[in-house]
Amino acid sequence: MHGGAIREDIGGGPRLAERYRSVRELSAALVAPLSDADSTLQSMPDASPAKWHLAHTTWFFETFLLRDNLPGYRLFHERWPFLFNSYYEAEGPRHPRAARGMLARPALDEVLAYRAHVDAAMAALLERSDLKDLIELGLAHEQQHQELLLTDIKHALWSNPLGPAYAAPPSVSAFASAEAWIDHPGGIARIGHAGEGFAFDNEGPAHRVLLEPFALAESLVTNAEWQAFIVEGGYRTPSLWLSDGWAWVQHDKVATPLYWHEDEAFGHAGWQKRDPAAPVTHVSYYEADAFATWAGARLPTEFEWEAIGQSHDPAAGNQLDAAGAIMPSGSPDLFGDCWQWTRSAYLPFPRFRPAEGAVGEYNGKFMSGQFVLKGASCATPRGHSRASYRNFFYPHQRWQFTGLRLAKDL
Amino acid sequence: MHGGAIREDIGGGPRLAERYRSVRELSAALVAPLSDADSTLQSMPDASPAKWHLAHTTWFFETFLLRDNLPGYRLFHERWPFLFNSYYEAEGPRHPRAARGMLARPALDEVLAYRAHVDAAMAALLERSDLKDLIELGLAHEQQHQELLLTDIKHALWSNPLGPAYAAPPSVSAFASAEAWIDHPGGIARIGHAGEGFAFDNEGPAHRVLLEPFALAESLVTNAEWQAFIVEGGYRTPSLWLSDGWAWVQHDKVATPLYWHEDEAFGHAGWQKRDPAAPVTHVSYYEADAFATWAGARLPTEFEWEAIGQSHDPAAGNQLDAAGAIMPSGSPDLFGDCWQWTRSAYLPFPRFRPAEGAVGEYNGKFMSGQFVLKGASCATPRGHSRASYRNFFYPHQRWQFTGLRLAKDL
Amino acid sequence: MHGGAIREDIGGGPRLAERYRSVRELSAALVAPLSDADSTLQSMPDASPAKWHLAHTTWFFETFLLRDNLPGYRLFHERWPFLFNSYYEAEGPRHPRAARGMLARPALDEVLAYRAHVDAAMAALLERSDLKDLIELGLAHEQQHQELLLTDIKHALWSNPLGPAYAAPPSVSAFASAEAWIDHPGGIARIGHAGEGFAFDNEGPAHRVLLEPFALAESLVTNAEWQAFIVEGGYRTPSLWLSDGWAWVQHDKVATPLYWHEDEAFGHAGWQKRDPAAPVTHVSYYEADAFATWAGARLPTEFEWEAIGQSHDPAAGNQLDAAGAIMPSGSPDLFGDCWQWTRSAYLPFPRFRPAEGAVGEYNGKFMSGQFVLKGASCATPRGHSRASYRNFFYPHQRWQFTGLRLAKDL
Amino acid sequence: MHGGAIREDIGGGPRLAERYRSVRELSAALVAPLSDADSTLQSMPDASPAKWHLAHTTWFFETFLLRDNLPGYRLFHERWPFLFNSYYEAEGPRHPRAARGMLARPALDEVLAYRAHVDAAMAALLERSDLKDLIELGLAHEQQHQELLLTDIKHALWSNPLGPAYAAPPSVSAFASAEAWIDHPGGIARIGHAGEGFAFDNEGPAHRVLLEPFALAESLVTNAEWQAFIVEGGYRTPSLWLSDGWAWVQHDKVATPLYWHEDEAFGHAGWQKRDPAAPVTHVSYYEADAFATWAGARLPTEFEWEAIGQSHDPAAGNQLDAAGAIMPSGSPDLFGDCWQWTRSAYLPFPRFRPAEGAVGEYNGKFMSGQFVLKGASCATPRGHSRASYRNFFYPHQRWQFTGLRLAKDL
């Protein structure tokens, strides 16, 4: 299935129901390889149990669509909103994030029953045009959690010394990468979402930004290139690092990307030999920045990336089409394989205003301390991302499929 | 089943096999109410997953009996000893204690298969008289973990805001307690294990201790008495507390025993009204000591308790006979209901020597910073304890069934 | 003395010696009210002892000027570079930052002798035109530490329950503030340092930035306005806060600016009644952002501030002229009173390259996680700041004189 | 001056005034080598500034003697009791222990003036027989702080990379030690203080304890013996260690006694070559216990040590007579050189009752988690200790002069 087809659906009335069904089904498919116990694991506070992702995305529809808009709707379970609210202060107190791994109950089966209950009730709302935007938001939200589910379970399985696999290895072969650059002359660029389809509030308002001439690498940085960085002492050379990054390297004794061990890397297929030609993933902003300095280049700004990205197909490349093992391959597309760190802090665009109510907490309140990532990863549901999409994480985080594409001044 | 019967078995040749079977079966019965996910939970570093208890007790037999004594025995899984060694340094590196909750794999079924495999192999060793002591140790060890399994799963279920029950409430009714004292004239007492049956190394050597005249309360301190302590400001009066205890109260904002909320307490049957006449449980040494000071009494020494305990039936009282919900009842027996804090630090008896080899790490290396508890609790398998038995925990710990029996000078 | 006179000196050959003398003398004057013990205090890892500031700024001249450029120069003390290097990795290992408060030795007198030694040796270099830029950097560096010395000793004295004063209260009277706005039409602005005089590397390269129409408040936010924010529940309303900010408020139990207690504030003159008309200071970025949201406005970007600031006199306003007590007054100038938080993350300007060698660590390596502040404070030596000046701190820090000036979209 | 002379004073009426004077003078003499800044240092929460010790011991007299017993006495400074109360809850809130290093004010001179003020007022009380016990307690208390002052300033000076000396090295020469044992036949021993002179409440009541036959080493363990322990892998062999001790070694990366570096040790005379024949000091209980296990011996109980100690002169040996540098020498006496770890937890003796009121907090509330040490050290004022004296510290602490004397079963 090609993502382009999905994109045509955007804006369609009757097709929303179809998209609702397919997005919701993919979530369930993603947990099919997991036991109830697997789906209960929380291996670090940043991550959540697979079961929790299934329930939280359902809570979103139950709360903001059914409870608020469907007369007579009854909550599936009156205590579950307390468990499955993530961070919406306006929705009241909630189970502490770091304790999500204690939820052996409800069992996975009960959570799947919750999903069925909500899906059945949602049928009555999928045609209401006044709710279309909110439903789109719910679906985009669920797609984000699909990606998190995949990266969180990867971390959880890796935390087990037995290194269990989530699925059989996919057959991918990495493309050869060449050092080639996409030049951009600079000037005034149009940044932010301005089209018809769905976008998050943080992608707007569209506005103009002045760019200097620059070039963006055609290829992502590869495992082989990263290996050279290691061999040449990259992790032991303080002058390459931001001050906070060097403190992080020292404190956490970081010497490789996450999930590396000797010549293997841990992935959804368990421990496998690393492919030198595949893009490096699971590096932090600190690492990406240090690598770029070492390479005599720099990271792009989010505006530079977006200016180039506007002419690329956001649904192409190595992205998620169906449940199963996933793995970065090194496709020649701008989107896919991994999210790409930019040197732009995650901040509001000019004239940005969060939405009213609890949904306004979706994006705006995270605008301090994080960096923007662009593109899409092999765990991003195809059709979810676009050029204006702004992913964001703290500079030390690296359990997502995070990599880098170099830039330079012209 | 009355525990006295069990005690007669001790020393018997053919009956060891029977006891092996019944102890091992009880462990399996204890997890019957749990799902795979329940059995994976670790709600704090002090506690372990139910699944881990099942596997660790089995690892003990596999390692110290089968591997070392059964020619040709093959490990069930070569990586599992790394997972299921608890703290035996002599057995090499091991999975970190605080990460036991990450073991969704092996699944509960696989762990039960491991148990069956080891039990089958053990059949060949149960008649060997040279191994009898080590097998007895393995069974006593498993009984200790049965109690831990029950207290650990209680803590894990309590950590879930839904408060799921482990089993239906038992029908117990608390006895009325009267303030009555057992007097003891003091003098030289014989302390420590000297009999025929099994005992841990830390219960010996038997030796003499000089006691001053004292009295020990006939009844355990009750919930009603503890409530009076709270109402009179016990948790807010620094002069009642040890200095470390007061720091603990302030830091952890302690204001009731663990598992209390309003007029309910959490137990294996979920949240239930507290019975005022039942013995208070889940109090720390600091709390027990402060209460005793408030009551104008003190805690007994382990020697005082043991001197009295030698004339009581250690298999009487409210102890564990079978799987199911358990609950302190306030029986008039010295043993049972809860472990009873003494004011004795857990230290070696004169001329104590740990055993050679890994098994020598069983008890001796914990002889600093902990206090001795005597008796037995409603979660202690009947027949496991005796007057010389020395349980021990740190003074802040209280997730076991820990309570107190007052003493005073005469 | 008016700062304008100082600015004319910039670039002058013979006058550099005069400026060297006056900057160095101010540092010594700032510690005149302090005892040896006062000057040894370090009240938190963010702060440094006054004595350490005196020695570190001297180490800068000794290391980068004398050692590297004066043949035959002998270090004052061979172990002191280890003590007084701040964060220059290229200069080797150093005393841990958090342990600077252990340096009772060298005594304050010895540090003053160190200063005299270095000043005497520096005489030979002050005329060398090839070293002019580095000497200018050393002086600007020392001025930064003069401000830190004042804010650090304020924090240290505040940490003493006796609340000792550093100096007698100054006679300042706050101006009345009116809600008035400076409008800006937007368009392409020239940002960054391009003139003749000294500037830090992070102020360049000069480049163009596209601005939307906006307005900047003529006055700083006052204590009275902040009091209204408190009274209306500002610190208890999560919807006003960034997510990280709300976590900080909860964790640190923040309910007022730093140094407030009842109707007093702690300052260099000890505990004094707060002046409602004076600008609020000692607020974090999180607080400034929440206040702006509450007020229906926002913080300016650094580019907006700089575009306005280019037409204001950076040497006007309430800034530091001489040793003595200092206090925000609410002058009508853009510069002075307090540093003003912007919503811009501290990031490199396009084509920014740090200098080669250890001096290259001065600014660039801090470009993650911090926010830019503009202006100058009452503790900033007059003549030190300018429109392109980029001060930076983490969003939770507030022991500097940090306040805010609102902005809004037009 | 020989300590024996001091002991005769005990109980004398007129001589109390003389002893008051000499104890108080020694405290002042101990800080003579220190600057105001030195006396302000607090290098870890366990330690206190020298200045604070001077003031706290004075606060004790001001509070419990002058304030409570001298009509019309006015506090020297009304806020100082808040600063200089150590841990007496009954005396109200107080400055946090970990923040004592912030007290640059009051200056050392002011604290000395405080001492003079209190000493002058105390003259009126020194003859009152009803206060004699309380004054004796105040003096014993001050002697304890003299020792702490010496060990705390040692730690503070060691924390400075320059390693400043407190005083010139003393001329001591270590005695040769031979492996010789003092045998004891066991039986009922009389333990605790029963005589006429002053003793702390925790030394009583006197009571009988039953001992097994044992032997106590004539000599303390030496640096040379400890070096052998290190060379043979003592710090890398888990089987030698208590479980908590092994965790401490791993976590704190302990590989030598405190203050060792290569073949030197830090002392009051700065960094000096270690004397192999001198007793090892600055070892924790964990280390002492591991060494004893390695040596095939054990630590004595406090009762064993006291039974032997009763026939030794507590005022003999290497103890503190006057201000100046101190150093363990290896004298053949039982008392002196270093405090000696016992394997006894610090617990109440039978029928122990703390005194009423704030003074009752002196000892009793520390009776959990600590171990008893016996003897006296080179920093203990001669005449302060006795056979029944019970010093106590946590098992990881080692900044006191703590060493060991082996014991074995007979």
CB proximity C202 to D under 8 Å = no
Chain A hits for C409, CB-CB cut-off 8 Å, are 350-351
Q: Across the interface, do D207 and B212 touch by the CB < 8 Å criterion?
A: yes
C interface test, pick of D31, D34, D36, D112 with most C CB neighbours within 10 Å: D36
Within 8 A by CB and 6+ apart from D22, the residues are: none
B250-269 average pLDDT score: 97
Q: Is the peptide bond before B395 cis (omega within 30 degrees of 0)?
A: no
Q: Chain C, 376-405: which have a CB under 8 Å from a chain A CB?
A: 395
The one-character DSSP state at C29 is: H
pLDDT of A67-110, one tens digit each? Answer: 999 999 999 999 999 999 998 888 888 999 999 999 999 999 99
pLDDT along chain D (410 residues), means of 10: 36 74 97 97 97 98 96 96 92 92 97 98 96 96 97 97 92 69 97 92 96 97 97 96 97 97 96 95 98 97 98 96 88 94 98 84 92 97 97 98 97
Compute the distance between CA of residue B357 and CA of residue B374 in angstroms, rounded to an integer: 28
A82 Cβ under 8 Å from any chain B Cβ: yes
Q: Report the C-alpha gap between B226 and A368 in whole angstroms.
A: 49
Record the pTM.
0.93
Residues of chain B contacting residue D246, judged by C-beta atoms under 8 Å apart: 89, 365
Please choose, from the candidates B79, B78, B73, B171, the residue with its C-alpha nearest in 3D space to the C-alpha of residue B123: B73
pLDDT reading at C2 higher than 60: no
Q: What is the ipTM of this complex?
A: 0.93
In percent, the amount of chain A with pLDDT more than 70 equals: 95
Compute the distance between CA of residue C316 and CA of residue C329 in angstroms, rounded to an integer. Answer: 13
**How many of the other CB atoms lie within 10 Å of CB of C398?**
23
**Contacting residues for C58 by C-beta, under 8 A, at least 6 apart:** C84, C111, C114, C115, C118
Alpha-carbon span B396 to B44, nearest angstrom: 14
Structure tokens at C321: 């002229």
Residues of D with Cβ-Cβ distance to C82 under 8 angstroms? 161
Specify which residues A199 forms β-bridges with: none
pLDDT of B228 above 80: yes
How far off is chain C from D29, nearest CA to CA, in Å? 19
Helix (H, G, I), strand (E, B) or coil at C354: coil
C373-401 pLDDT, tens digit each: 999 999 999 999 999 999 999 999 999 99
Q: What angle is formed at CA C78 by the lines to CA C72 and CA C83, rounded to 5 degrees?
A: 130
Share of chain C above pLDDT 70, in %: 95
User: Which H or E run includes B187?
Assistant: strand B187-191
Confidence of residue B358 (pLDDT cuts 50, 70, 90): confident
Q: How far apart are CA A93 and CA A113, in angstroms?
A: 25
Rounded mean pLDDT, A358-382: 93
Query: Can you give D313-362 as a three-state secondary structure string?
Result: CCCCCCCECCCCCCCCCCCCCCCCCEEEEEEEECCCCCCCCCCCCHHHHC
Instruction: Collapse the DSSP code of A304 into the 3-class scheme (helix H, G, I; strand E, B; otherwise coil) and give the result.
Output: helix
User: C212 vs A212: CB contact, 8 Å cut-off?
Assistant: no
Q: Say which DSSP state D163 is in.
A: -
B37/A104 Cβ within 8 A: yes
At residue D175, the pLDDT reads 62
**Shortest distance, CA C214 to any CA of chain A (angstroms):** 10
* Spatial CA neighbour of A24 closest among A114, A156, A151: A114
Taking contacts as CB-CB distances below 8 angstroms, the residues of chain D near B186 are none
Nearest to A347 among C207, C244, C343 (CB): C343
The CA-atom distances, in angstroms, between B361 and each of B90, B141, B144, D240 are 8, 13, 16, 10
Which range, of A63-72, A254-263, C165-174, averages the lowest pLDDT? C165-174
Question: Could you please report the per-residue DSSP string of A14-67?
Answer: HHHHHHHHHHHHHHHHHHTT--TTGGG---STT---HHHHHHHHHHHHIIIIII
CB contact under 8 A, B351 and D87: no
CB-based contact D239 B361, cutoff 8 Å? yes
Distance CA D13, CA D5 (A): 16
Give the β-pairing of D270-273 and D338-345: unpaired
* Chain A closest-CA separation from residue B268 CA (Å): 15
Report pLDDT for A11: 43
B175 min Cα distance to partner chain D (Å): 32
Q: CB B161 to CB A36 under 8 A?
A: no
**Residues of chain B found within 8 Å of residue A104, distances taken between Cβ atoms:** 35, 37-38, 40-41, 156, 160
pLDDT for residue C175 = 62
pLDDT at residue D176, rounded to an integer: 62
Q: Report residue B96's pLDDT band, with 50, 70 and 90 as the boundaries.
A: very high
Q: What is the DSSP string of D269-295?
A: TEEEE--TTSBP-S--HHHHHHHHHHT
pLDDT of residue D359: 79
Structure confidence at residue C14 (pLDDT): 44
- How far, in Å, CA of B401 to CA of B386, rounded? 17
As a whole number of angstroms, the distance between CA A370 and CA B354 comes to 55
**Nearest by Cα to B316 from B332, B339, B338, B305:** B332
Cβ-based contacts under 8 A for chains B and D: 79
In three-state secondary structure terms, A342 is: strand
Contacts of D79 in chain C (CB under 8 A): 161-162
Task: Verify cis geometry, omega within 30 degrees of 0, for the bond prior to D381.
Answer: no
Nearest to A164 among B105, B108, B156 (CB): B105
Greatest alpha-carbon span in chain D: 66
CA C20 – CA C134 distance, rounded (Å)? 12
Structure tokens that stand for A261 in this block: 């061990």
Q: Which of B61, B148, B141 is nearest to B97 (CA)?
A: B148
Q: Tokens 């503009």: give the residue.
A: C374
Query: Which of D208, D244, D360 lies closest to B210 in CB terms?
Result: D208
Q: Does C344 contact A347 at a Cβ distance shorter than 8 Å?
A: yes
| Residue B14 near chain A (CB below 8 Å) | no
Pick from B87, B244, B409: which is nearest to D369 by CB?
B244
* Contact yes or no for B162 and A106 at CB 8 A: yes
3-state secondary structure of B338: strand
The answer to whether the peptide bond before residue C205 is cis (omega within 30 degrees of 0) is yes
| Each residue's pLDDT tens digit, C43-87 | 999 999 999 999 999 999 999 999 999 999 999 999 999 999 998
Q: Are strands C264-267 and C260-261 parallel, antiparallel or unpaired?
A: antiparallel
Beta strands in A228-377 (DSSP E): 260-261, 264-267, 270-273, 338-345, 371-376
Within B101-242, where are the H helices? 108-122, 132-158, 223-231
A-C CB pairs within 8 A amount to 79
Q: Which chains are adjacent to chain A, needing at least 3 Cβ pairs under 8 Å? A: B, C
D181-409: in CATH 3.90.1580.10: yes
Of B101, B159, B162, the CB nearest to A79: B162
Identify whether the C-beta of residue B177 lies closer than 8 Å to the C-beta of residue B330: yes
Please, what is the average pLDDT of chain A? 93
Determine, for residues D209 and B212 on separate chains, whether the beta-carbon distance falls below 8 Å. no
Beta-carbon separation of A368 and C242 below 8 A: yes
How many CB atoms are closer than 10 A to CB A233? 10
The whole-number average pLDDT for the span C209-217 is 97
Q: H/E element holding B371?
A: strand B371-376
D317 touches chain C (CB under 8 A): no
Q: Which of A37, A43, A95 sits opposite B40 (nearest CB)?
A: A37
Residue C143 one-letter amino acid: Q
- Alpha carbons C392 and C369: distance in angstroms, whole number: 10
Cβ pair D160:C37 closer than 8 A: no
Most confident of A351-360, C288-297, D349-358: C288-297
CA C392/CA C367 separation, integer angstroms? 9
Cβ within 8 Å, pair C105-D39: no
Which residues in chain B have their CB less than 8 angstroms from residue D212's CB?
Answer: 207, 350-351
Is A41 in contact with B104 (Cβ distance < 8 A)? yes
Please state the φ and ψ torsions of residue C221, each to the nearest 5 degrees: -65, 140
**What residues of chain C lie within 8 A of the CB of A349, using their CB?**
none
Q: Where are the alpha helices (DSSP H) in B191-301?
A: 223-231, 243-252, 285-294
The secondary structure element, H or E, covering residue B6 is helix B3-9
The pLDDT of residue A176 is: 61
Place of tokens 């990379």: D161
Query: Which chains border D (3 or more CB–CB pairs < 8 Å)?
Result: B, C
Place of tokens 């606060």: D59
Contact (CB<8Å) C107/D164:
no
pLDDT at B10 over 80: no
* Chain B interface disruption, residue of D248, D251, D365, most B CBs within 10 A: D365
Residue A221: is its pLDDT beyond 60?
Answer: yes
Judging contact as 3 or more Cβ pairs under 8 Å, the answer for A and B is yes
Q: A322 at the B interface (CB within 8 A)?
A: no
Sheet holding C407-409, edge to edge: C181-184, C214-217, C407-409
C103 contacts chain D (CB < 8 A): yes
* B161/chain A closest Cα distance in angstroms: 8
The verdict on a CB contact (< 8 Å) between A243 and C366 is yes
**What pLDDT does residue D10 have?**
43
Here the tokens at position D6 are 């001091």
Residues from chain B that touch A103, judged by Cβ atoms under 8 A, are 160
Q: b vs e for A269-281, b when ≥16 Cβ sit within 10 Å of the residue's Cβ?
A: bbeeebbebbbbb
pLDDT band at C176 (very low <50, low <70, confident <90, very high): low
Q: Assess whether pLDDT exceeds 80 at residue C98.
A: yes
Using CA atoms, how far apart are residues A66 and A64, in angstroms rounded to an integer? Answer: 6
